[in-house]
């Protein structure tokens, strides 16, 4: 079982390394193909689609924060509640009591997490600013 997990991880790492090597080998040809005229055309296309694409990304972030995240938290809460129901009554087994306390703490954490949609959205926006908007502005896109 452990070996399969290690094998999957190794396979993914090798695939990622293969992609990086292919990109590194193809990059000189790609750079040679990018003439100043083609760069100007690419810059124009990017400038035209940048803000509509940004609005679409913000819509996806909102959908993730207020649509997907609450559903995910509720599914985790159901799993924890089911595990709590499966535990034997308190006081019989010290290990079961420890598991029950840990599950109750997990449930409390998930209940607090259920109302963090603004935090999820803010985190996604922070990544958006760092990875997309700041480089675009620094390169003179705006």
* Residue 122 sits in the same domain as residue 95: yes
Position with higher pLDDT, 91 vs 61 = 61
Task: Compute the chain's Rg from CA coordinates.
Answer: 24
- The count of domains in the chain is 2
* Residue 62 sits in the same domain as residue 130: yes
* Residue 61 sits in the same domain as residue 9: no
Residue 64 has pLDDT above 80, yes or no: yes
* Residue 20 sits in the same domain as residue 83: no
* Residue 40 sits in the same domain as residue 26: no
* Residue 18 sits in the same domain as residue 60: no
* Residue 55 sits in the same domain as residue 110: yes
* Residue 11 sits in the same domain as residue 26: yes
Per-residue model confidence as pLDDT tens digits over 79-138: 999 988 888 777 777 887 888 888 889 999 999 998 999 999 999 999 999 999 999 999
* Residue 29 sits in the same domain as residue 40: no
* Residue 51 sits in the same domain as residue 19: no
Show the domain range for 43.
Answer: 36-138
- CB within 8 A of 65, min separation 6: which ones? 117, 118, 120, 121, 124
For CA atoms 102, 103, 107, 108, the dihedral sign is negative
Band of the pLDDT at 140, cuts 50, 70, 90?
confident
The per-type count for the chain, helices as H runs and strands as E runs, is 6, 0
Taking residue 57's Cβ as centre, other Cβ atoms within 10 Å add up to: 15
Band of the pLDDT at 75, cuts 50, 70, 90?
very high
List the Cα angle 92/98/99 in 5-degree steps: 95
Mean pLDDT of the chain: 89
* Residue 53 sits in the same domain as residue 105: yes
Band of the pLDDT at 6, cuts 50, 70, 90?
low
* Residue 6 sits in the same domain as residue 43: no
């Amino acid at each position: 079982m452990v070996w399969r997990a290690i094998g999957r991880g190794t396979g993914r790492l090798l695939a990622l390394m293969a992609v990086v090597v292919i990109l590194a080998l193809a990059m000189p040809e790609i750079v040679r193909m990018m003439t100043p005229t083609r760069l100007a055309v690419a810059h124009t296309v990017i400038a035209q689609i940048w803000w509509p694409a940004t609005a679409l990304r913000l819509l996806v972030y909102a959908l993730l924060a207020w649509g997907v995240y609450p559903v995910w938290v509720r599914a985790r809460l159901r799993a924890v509640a089911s595990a709590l129901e499966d535990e034997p009554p308190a006081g019989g087994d010290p290990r079961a009591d420890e598991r029950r306390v840990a599950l109750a703490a997990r449930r409390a954490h998930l209940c607090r997490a259920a109302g963090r949609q603004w935090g999820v959205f803010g985190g996604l926006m922070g990544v958006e600013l760092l990875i997309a908007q700041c480089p675009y502005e620094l390169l003179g896109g705006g």
